[in-house]
Amino acid sequence: MRKTITKAMRAEPDFDVCIIGSGAGAGPIAYELVNAGFKVCMLEKGQWYDEQHFKKDEQLGRHRIFKSQHDKERHVIEEPDGEGGWSRDTTSQFWGGNVVGGASNFMSAYFHRLKPNDFKLLSSYGAIKGANIVDWPISYEELEPYYDKVERVIGVSGKVQPHKFLEPRSQPDYPMPPTAEHPVSKYFDNACKELGFTPLPMARGILSQPKGERRSCEYSGYCGSYGCNSGAKASSRASLIDRIKHKSNFTMLTGAKAYRIQTDDDGQATTIDYFVSETKSQSLTAKKFVVACYSIESARLLLTSVGKKHPRGLGNNHGQVGKNLHCCAGGTGHGIFDLTKLARNKANALKVRGPFFNRFLQDWYEIEDKSLSDKPLKGGTLDFVFDPPSPTAEISGLKWQSNGELLWGTPLKQKIKAHFTQSKDFKFEVFCDWLTHDDCFVSLDDSEKDVWGVPVAKVRAGFHPHDIKVAQYLVDKGVEVMKAMGADEAYGNVFTQPTSNLVAGGCRFGNDPKTSVLNANCQVHDCDNVFVTDGSFMPNGGSITPTMTIYANAFRVAEKIISHLQ
């Protein structure tokens, strides 16, 4: 039976602050508060892995050893069935990594900033029927100093190049020079300029020079989807938590599955309950709590935290927890180059492994094209990349013939040899806004429970047709670039299903408790000693990867928490 905690029963809390999660929304909070002298505890469901565990081997990637417990609490997903209804299935696709540092260990670390128009989507572009578009309660100018802090504290490499949609910056350039440049970059630059596009060097949350105990990038190619063996990647663990882990006022509890925040008669949070095994539960108390479990799980934790003042879940008195979830809208595309048809220097350039292809296009961050719309539309970003090495997976796919029969013997050997020596796959990724709407949200499932007996999260993931229109426009631009570079085959696809990563929203911040979960400082409206600092707070994801913004906002909120504690 749940025990009600009253003011008279309260003892001195175990900690000043308890942080649930350890990823990009959690690391800056811990780093700032511990360095300010406060007593901090961090709960992480996964284990502590570091550089010695991250091997440059596709068989030791996150899917094998860092996601092993995801089947203990699979999500239920509902998607459009094409007939006006919803399909239902269970999935573990939304887990980014149960490990200290979370999904930031496995990111590709494209570190783009949002732009001023991302903060004013409604006032800049107007309402769209069926979409819950709002402006942010803070401006780009308020967040800019914290973007700068991310670049300096975490370590970002790059080169600022002026262009039409460059966001205002307090510093003229990044603190570190760009990582080593891939030799094919010059061919990309030339092709884009011939098309009238503006090729831009991409900033990365990856060290081009050593920083503290972290080594610089070693250019193995095993980056996106892999843990970093050198510590160069700006994961929350490597860049922040490792720097405070030995301090006496910091406690890290791994293997701790948080499942409920308890509140007192006044509605204030007092206790976090967590499992340390499939049957054993423990509790600790704190003055303030920070929820940063990744959007879907943060909403789930609030919904399971029922109390006297929160009968529908913590922060859910207006039914907003879990609403306005957004995935990563956009698409992807490929250029397949037949190396036997290219000049030797160009073919050799495409064969090079290791250096990043640090290029992106933002010519259409705002689209002004009458063939698409009579008024300007919010557009997006195209990032051009080489996929990390995955020879075993690629070979596995080559064993099948077009008729579905197995290929083997000499024909298979010849096909494998041609794949790795005579062709090259060059990829682009498109990012645009996944508009928030009433058919994309998180709730608790009525029938499925995890191994601890807690209802699992149900994710309904419908998309808005406007996103498809914008994404297709951008995908077509990427295909155009691939053709201009001389690809023998160029194609692209638009996302109509939720991506497995870069999910945000679900606890939107705003000024009105009736339409948001958090205030401008990311405090739960009706429980102001609980903060939510992962991507849940974002009203929209912008037209970039959101990781840098999550880091920046967490640094901003850390200042607010310190001010409250002082």
Rounded-to-integer distance, Cα 322 and Cα 460, Å: 10
Could you tell me if residue 39 is inside a domain?
Answer: yes
Could you tell me if residue 551 is inside a domain?
Answer: yes
How many angstroms separate the Cα of 480 from the Cα of each of 383, 428, 454, 474, 491? 14, 11, 49, 10, 9
**Residue 387 burial (C-beta neighbours within 10 Å; 0-12, 13-18, 19+):** middle
For 551, phi and psi rounded to 5 degrees?
Answer: -60, -50
Could you tell me if residue 272 is inside a domain?
Answer: yes
The CB density around residue 311, as the number of other CB atoms within 10 Å, is 9
Q: At what angle do helices 185-195 and 465-484 cross, to 10 degrees?
A: 110
pTM of the entire structure? 0.94
Nearest to 130 by CA among 425, 487, 467, 464: 464
Contact partners, residue 41, CB within 8 Å, separation at least 6: 14, 15, 17, 18, 19, 250, 251, 252, 253, 284, 286
Could you tell me if residue 239 is inside a domain?
Answer: yes
Could you tell me if residue 189 is inside a domain?
Answer: no
For 109, phi and psi rounded to 5 degrees?
Answer: 65, 45
Structure tokens at 368: 């002004």
Structure tokens at 247: 């301090």
How many angstroms separate the Cα of 312 from the Cα of each of 130, 291, 398, 442, 534? 26, 18, 51, 14, 22
Contact partners, residue 274, CB within 8 Å, separation at least 6: 43, 253, 256, 257, 258, 259, 281, 282, 283, 284
The answer to whether residues 484 and 503 touch, using CB atoms and an 8 Å cutoff, is no
**What pLDDT tens digit does each residue of the chain (566 aa) get?**
344 444 444 579 999 999 999 999 999 999 999 999 999 999 999 999 989 888 777 766 555 555 556 678 889 999 988 888 899 998 888 877 789 999 999 899 999 999 999 999 999 999 999 999 999 999 999 999 999 999 999 999 999 999 999 999 999 999 999 999 999 999 999 999 999 999 999 999 999 999 999 999 999 888 888 889 999 999 999 999 999 999 999 999 999 999 999 999 999 999 999 999 888 999 999 999 999 999 999 999 999 999 999 999 999 999 999 999 999 889 999 999 999 998 999 989 888 888 898 999 999 999 999 999 999 999 999 999 988 777 787 788 888 887 888 888 888 888 888 877 888 889 999 999 999 999 999 999 999 999 999 999 999 999 999 999 999 999 999 999 999 999 999 999 998 888 778 899 999 999 999 999 999 999 999 999 999 999 999 999 999 999 999 999 999 999 999 999 98
Predicted confidence at residue 396, as pLDDT, reads 82
**Residue 28 burial (C-beta neighbours within 10 Å; 0-12, 13-18, 19+):** buried
How many angstroms separate the Cα of 78 from the Cα of each of 153, 175, 323, 331, 441? 40, 44, 15, 20, 10
DSSP letter for each residue of 394-447: HHHHHTB-TTSPBP-SHHHHHHHHHHHHSEEEEEEEEEE-----TTEEEEEEEE
Q: ∠ CA(522), CA(526), CA(530), 5° rounding? A: 45
Could you tell me if residue 243 is inside a domain?
Answer: yes
Rounded-to-integer distance, Cα 40 and Cα 331, Å: 40
Structure tokens at 509: 């911040």
Looking at residue 94, the DSSP 8-state letter turns out to be: T
- Radius of gyration, CA atoms only, the chain: 24
In what helix (H) or strand (E) does residue 329 lie, and over which residues does it extend? strand 329-338
Nearest to 565 by CA among 10, 196, 118, 15: 15
Could you tell me if residue 28 is inside a domain?
Answer: yes
We report the CATH number of the domain holding residue 42 as 3.50.50.60
Q: Which domain holds residue 102?
A: 1-80+91-116+133-158+226-319+507-566
Looking at residue 472, the DSSP 8-state letter turns out to be: H
Could you tell me if residue 346 is inside a domain?
Answer: no
Structure tokens at 101: 């540092």
Predicted confidence at residue 5, as pLDDT, reads 46
**Total of domains in the chain:** 1
Predicted confidence at residue 62, as pLDDT, reads 53
Rounded-to-integer distance, Cα 564 and Cα 16, Å: 11
Predicted confidence at residue 403, as pLDDT, reads 84
Structure tokens at 136: 């942010």
Structure tokens at 336: 């397949």
Contact partners, residue 402, CB within 8 Å, separation at least 6: none
Q: How far is CA 464 from the centre of its chain?
A: 20
Predicted confidence at residue 409, as pLDDT, reads 87
Looking at residue 155, the DSSP 8-state letter turns out to be: I
HSE (side-chain half, CA atoms, 13 Å) at 270: 19
Look at residue 68 and give its three-state secondary structure.
Answer: coil
Contact partners, residue 504, CB within 8 Å, separation at least 6: 295, 325, 326, 535, 536, 538, 541, 546, 550
Structure tokens at 555: 């640094």
The answer to whether residues 17 and 290 touch, using CB atoms and an 8 Å cutoff, is yes
The answer to whether residues 143 and 556 touch, using CB atoms and an 8 Å cutoff, is yes
